[in-house]
């Protein structure tokens, strides 16, 4: 029965080929697994969303746009729908880049975008009474202790800020390195969270990576317990934990690859296991989007 044996051999060969490609397919799917999920396309009113936060005691997301837009804070539900808009009194949106919160129902808006590194006075607005709808504004202005020229030489341009958090009655600011000799270094400055003129003190530095297309720090967030900090780039999140005092890079650092490249500029903690992330509209046909990311235990690499 040579013909039957030949047929059986061919069937076995086909089965082996099928199993081989099935294993490859599953392997690729695992490799490409992504915990970033799109929740919604945001309103065109938020095409240039530059920061998001959530206030203690609220289930809403608060968002801002960057330079050239109105001085308004948008209150969204968790499906990304705008439910209320707050006009920020006694303020101007020169270059709003990030928004953060404290545990007293207060939010803080960072007007510290500084692309050319030539701003001599940077601003943080304190917005209280948001939960009670009786909104009041205070203003903190600051400059960097180590900036002497406005702008400095191109190789020294590391004074743009797009990310900050409120922690222990202070603001921690993370620079977006725009130096011509980019090496991924973000500088961390600290100022007191109170009205008036402040001097931003340099307290730490950290090297992300040396690709200027994917290593800019564009937003920051801190969780409710104050023991985790998330730093955002266009395609990554650096998750910091187990840090001591002001040395926030002294503990555990997880580098999370999002496997999704876009102009991401907003991040906040929904809870200890979930991040919310937003990106800006790019191009004529693009849109701003709201995403969820479910955290896993991933090590630095």
Output the DSSP codes for 63-103: EEE-TTS-SEEEEE-TTS-EEEEEE-TT---SS--EEEE-T
Specify the pTM.
0.87
Residue 94 has phi, psi (to 5 degrees) of: -75, -50
Query: What length does the chain have?
Result: 301
Question: What does pLDDT average to in each consecutive run of 10 residues of the chain (301 residues)?
Answer: 52 51 41 79 96 92 96 97 95 97 95 97 95 90 97 97 98 97 96 97 96 94 97 97 94 96 96 96 85 75 42
Q: Quick check: 107 and 73 in contact, CB under 8 A?
A: yes
Q: Specify the pLDDT at position 20.
A: 47
pLDDT score, position 34: 73
Looking at residue 11, its pLDDT comes to 54
Cβ-based neighbours of 248, under 8 Å, separated by 6 or more:
172, 188, 204, 229, 240
């Amino acid at each position: 029965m040579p013909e039957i044996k030949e047929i059986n051999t061919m069937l076995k060969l086909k089965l082996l080929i099928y199993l081989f490609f099935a294993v490859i397919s599953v392997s690729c799917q695992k490799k490409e697994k992504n915990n970033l999920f799109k929740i919604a396309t945001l309103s065109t009113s938020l095409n240039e969303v530059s920061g998001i936060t959530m206030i203690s005691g609220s289930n809403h997301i608060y968002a801002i746009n960057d330079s050239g837009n109105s001085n308004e804070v948008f209150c969204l539900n968790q499906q990304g729908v705008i439910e209320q808009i707050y006009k920020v009194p006694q303020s101007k949106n020169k270059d709003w880049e990030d928004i953060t919160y404290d545990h007293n129902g207060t939010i803080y808006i960072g007007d510290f975008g500084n692309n050319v590194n030539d701003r001599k006075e940077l601003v943080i607005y304190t917005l209280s009474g948001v939960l009670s709808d009786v909104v009041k504004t205070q203003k903190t202005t600051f400059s960097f202790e180590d900036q002497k020229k406005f702008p400095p030489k191109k190789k020294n341009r590391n004074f743009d800020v797009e990310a900050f958090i409120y922690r222990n009655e202070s603001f921690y600011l993370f620079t977006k390195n725009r130096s011509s000799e980019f090496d991924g270094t973000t500088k961390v400055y600290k100022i007191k969270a109170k009205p008036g003129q402040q001097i931003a003190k340099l307290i730490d530095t950290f090297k992300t990576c040396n690709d200027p297309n994917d290593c800019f720090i564009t937003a920051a967030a801190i969780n409710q317990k104050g023991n985790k900090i998330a730093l955002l780039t266009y395609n990554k999140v650096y998750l910091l934990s187990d840090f001591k005092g002001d040395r926030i890079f002294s503990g555990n650092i997880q580098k999370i690859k999002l496997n999704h490249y876009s102009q991401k500029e907003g991040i906040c903690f929904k809870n200890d296991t979930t991040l919310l992330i937003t990106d800006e509209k790019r191009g004529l046909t693009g849109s701003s989007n709201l995403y969820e990311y479910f955290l896993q235990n991933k090590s630095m690499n």
